[in-house]
Amino acid sequence: NNGCIVEVIVVDRNEKPTRPHVLEVKNYMTLTFCDFCGAMLTGLMRQGLHCVACKYVLTFTNNFAK
């Protein structure tokens, strides 16, 4: 009775493992839209964030990005 916990995780073999987004600030040179809300990214520099791993694009105004 040392308080150890064993956790078993069952994953479908065809399912890709989920990973958290790795967000970084990005400057976009072409018209770009947020993949979360569909809003157009505005501004001249630092218009939004994108995930380095999956290329997901986000505006700074989304609660998802915070």
Domains detected in the chain: 1-66 (3.30.60.20)
Say how far apart CA 42 and CA 64 lie, in whole Å. 18
pLDDT by residue (tens digit) across 17-65? 677 788 889 898 989 988 888 888 888 888 888 888 888 888 776 555 4
Question: Between 57 and 9, where is the model more confident?
Answer: 57
Assessment of whether the complete model's pTM goes beyond 0.85: no
Beta carbons of 33 and 40 less than 8 angstroms apart: yes
For residue 59, what are the β-bridge partners? Answer: 48
The burial of 7, by beta-carbon neighbours within 10 Å (0-12 exposed, 13-18 middle, 19 or more buried), is given as: exposed
Cα 13 from chain centre? 23
Say how far apart CA 12 and CA 27 lie, in whole Å. 37
